[in-house]
C-alpha cells in the first residue's frame, strides 16, 4: 500500500527559510562586530601601553586648563563656554595627527598589513576596528575635561543643555578629525608623512571656516556649509540640528570609506 506524503504549505516553507536566513545574518553580524571589537581593543592596549597616549593626554589637559583659565576663569562665570570648546577643537587639530599617524602607516612599514589583509577579516573590519580604537582614546580625552564645566556648575551660572550639546559637538568633531587621520595613514607607509598629511587637511578645513566668515558671497556661504568648525559653533550654542548630526556622520563615513578603498586597492597590486 502506497504511503501518501503530506506536503508542507508554501507559506510555511518560506517562513522557515526567512527565519534561517535571519538567524544566519544575525550570527554573521555578531561575528563581524566581535572582530571589530577585538581590533579596537588591541589598538587601545597599544596606545596605553606606550608613553604616547599619556604624554598627549597630559599636554592636552595642560593646554585645556590654561585656555579655561583665560577664557572662563578671568571673566564672568555666566560667560558662554562656546569659545572654550572651539579652542579645544583647535587643539585636536594638533593632537589627532599624532594619534592617527601610526594606525595603518606602521602596519605598512613593518609588513604586518599584508598579514592583516590576508587573515579572515574584511577591509571594513580593519578600518572600523582601527577607527573605534583611536576613537576610544579621543573619548577619554574628552571625558577628562569634564571637571571644567563641573566647577562652573558649582560656582557659576551655566546652562546644562549647552554643556551637553557642546560636548557632543566636540566628540563628533574629534571623530571627523580621526577619520581624516586614518585615511591619511592609509595612503603611506611613513608615519611622518601621514601626520603632516592629516594636519594639512585639517588646516585646510580650518581655513575654509575662516573664508566662510570673511567672504560675504556665494563662495563664503558654501564654505560655511562645508566647514567642520561652523557646525561645531552651531552645536556649542545649544542648538542640536539634524543637519549637523548628518553632516558629522557623513564626513566620518566618507573618509572611512576611502581608507577602506585604499586598503582594498593593495590586493590588486
Q: Are 168 and 235 in contact (CB under 8 A)?
A: yes
The residues spanned by each domain of the chain are 42-268
The model's pLDDT over 211-267, given as tens digits with 9 standing for 90+, comes to 766 777 776 667 777 777 777 777 777 777 788 888 889 999 999 999 999 888 766
Question: Is the per-residue pLDDT at 43 higher than 80?
Answer: yes
Question: Is the per-residue pLDDT at 19 higher than 60?
Answer: no
**Predicted TM-score of the model (pTM):** 0.82
pLDDT of residue 1: 47
Report the candidate in 68, 100, 74 with the shortest Cα–Cα distance to residue 86: 68
Strands (E), 27-87: none
Question: Is the per-residue pLDDT at 110 higher than 70?
Answer: yes
**Residue of 249 and 151 predicted with greater confidence:** 249
Q: How many CA atoms lie within 13 A of 2 on its CB side?
A: 3
Amino acid at each position: 500500500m502506497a504511503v501518501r506524503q503530506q506536503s508542507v504549505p508554501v507559506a510555511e516553507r518560506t517562513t522557515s527559510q526567512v527565519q534561517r536566513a535571519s538567524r544566519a545574518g544575525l550570527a554573521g553580524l555578531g561575528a563581524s562586530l566581535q572582530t571589530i571589537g577585538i581590533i579596537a581593543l588591541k589598538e587601545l592596549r597599544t596606545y596605553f601601553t606606550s608613553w604616547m597616549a599619556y604624554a598627549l593626554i597630559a599636554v592636552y589637559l595642560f593646554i585645556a586648563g590654561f585656555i579655561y583659565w583665560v577664557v572662563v576663569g578671568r571673566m564672568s562665570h555666566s560667560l558662554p563656554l562656546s569659545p572654550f570648546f572651539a579652542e579645544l577643537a583647535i587643539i585636536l587639530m594638533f593632537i589627532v595627527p599624532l594619534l592617527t599617524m601610526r594606525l595603518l602607516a606602521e602596519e605598512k612599514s613593518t609588513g604586518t598589513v599584508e598579514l592583516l589583509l590576508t587573515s579572515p577579516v574584511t577591509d571594513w573590519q580593519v578600518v572600523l576596528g582601527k577607527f573605534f580604537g583611536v576613537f576610544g582614546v579621543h573619548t577619554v580625552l574628552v571625558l577628562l575635561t569634564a571637571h571644567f564645566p563641573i566647577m562652573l556648575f558649582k560656582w557659576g551660572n551655566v546652562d546644562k543643555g549647552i554643556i551637553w550639546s557642546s560636548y557632543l559637538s566636540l566628540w563628533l568633531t574629534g571623530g571627523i578629525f580621526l577619520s581624516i587621520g586614518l585615511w591619511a595613514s592609509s595612503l603611506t607607509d611613513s608615519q611622518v608623512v601621514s601626520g603632516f598629511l592629516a594636519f594639512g587637511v585639517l588646516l585646510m578645513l580650518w581655513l575654509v571656516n575662516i573664508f566662510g566668515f570673511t567672504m560675504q558671497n556665494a563662495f563664503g556661504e558654501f564654505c560655511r556649509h562645508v566647514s567642520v568648525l561652523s557646525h561645531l559653533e552651531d552645536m556649542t550654542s545649544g542648538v542640536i540640528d539634524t543637519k549637523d548630526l548628518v553632516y558629522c556622520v557623513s564626513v566620518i563615513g566618507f573618509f572611512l570609506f576611502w581608507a577602506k578603498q585604499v586598503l582594498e586597492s593593495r590586493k590588486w597590486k
